[in-house]
Amino acid sequence: MTLPSQTLVCFSGFLQKLLRFVYYLLYHSFAWTYDLVSGMVSLGHWNNWVKEVIPFMRGKKILELGFGPGHLQLELTSRGFQTFGLDESPQMAKLASRKLKLNDSSINLVRGLSLYLPFSSCFDTIVATFPSDYIFALGTIREITRALVPGGRLIVLLGVSPGNPNSRSKLANLLSNAKLLSGVERFNRKLEQLCNIYGDEGIKTDILRIPKGSVTLLVLLGEKSTLQGNMANIA
């Protein structure tokens, strides 16, 4: 029996809504399980993947969007960066603050939305790792552009894909079977559209594919135009 295409579309939409709801719970009511779940789905590699963005940092003043439990906040602070974080989840804010406090690290965390960043043009780098759909919103893109200094850098760890199609590792098989990046052409078109939108707003971007063991990290790397700063000085 073959389901009508309309039924399949509705079913797909239902799954997307269900996944968003599960993600919401994981980031709010069940935030205390975040590390456990992320560790399970990545077979213990999650935090190591997140740290892979650090070599791309530019300057010392860093803003992390969606800081979650605070792992990257702690790592950056320990390396001497002046680190700030923004997240809308009160549960994650508590977890991250507790982690930073226990390690005697400075706490510069703000609760808020990426659509309304409470900062001026002051950050050398803005970073987000495994963000939800907010990173694709035009309002977020414009706020990121506004908050970066001219020549500032944007780093977004978008996700992972199997790094070697012939790999027989458990992680590669898990990612393939789960079809986390199903529809490669559609996904690539979405990335291209995202880069074009950022470009229209003054951030030149590129997609890096970084091999890491049995997976490939997908990283959006952007740089804000210096012309915007020059025009502001002329004005």
Tell whether pTM > 0.75: yes
**What pLDDT, on the 0 to 100 scale, is given for residue 189?**
80
pLDDT in tens, the chain (235 residues): 443 433 333 334 444 454 565 555 555 655 556 656 665 665 667 788 899 999 999 999 999 999 999 999 999 999 999 999 999 988 889 999 999 999 999 899 999 999 999 998 899 999 999 888 888 899 999 999 999 999 999 999 998 877 654 444 555 455 444 444 445 567 778 888 889 999 999 999 999 999 988 888 999 999 998 875 544 443 4
Closest CA to 196 of 232, 227, 220: 220
> What's the one-letter identity of residue 28?
H
d(CA 65, CA 156): 10
The pLDDT, as a whole number, for residue 113 is 93
Enumerate domains of the chain plus CATH numbers: 34-234 (3.40.50.150)
| CA angle (137, 142, 145) in 5-degree steps | 130
Instruction: Yes or no: say if 97 and 110 are a contact pair by the CB < 8 Å rule.
Output: no
Q: What is the pLDDT of residue 11?
A: 36
User: What DSSP character marks residue 163?
Assistant: S
Tell me the CA distances in angstroms from 185 to 121, 136, 170, 192, 211, one per residue in order: 36, 18, 25, 11, 20
Evaluate whether 224 touches 173 at the Cβ level (below 8 Å): no
| Among 231, 181, 216, 222, residue whose Cα is nearest residue 45 | 216
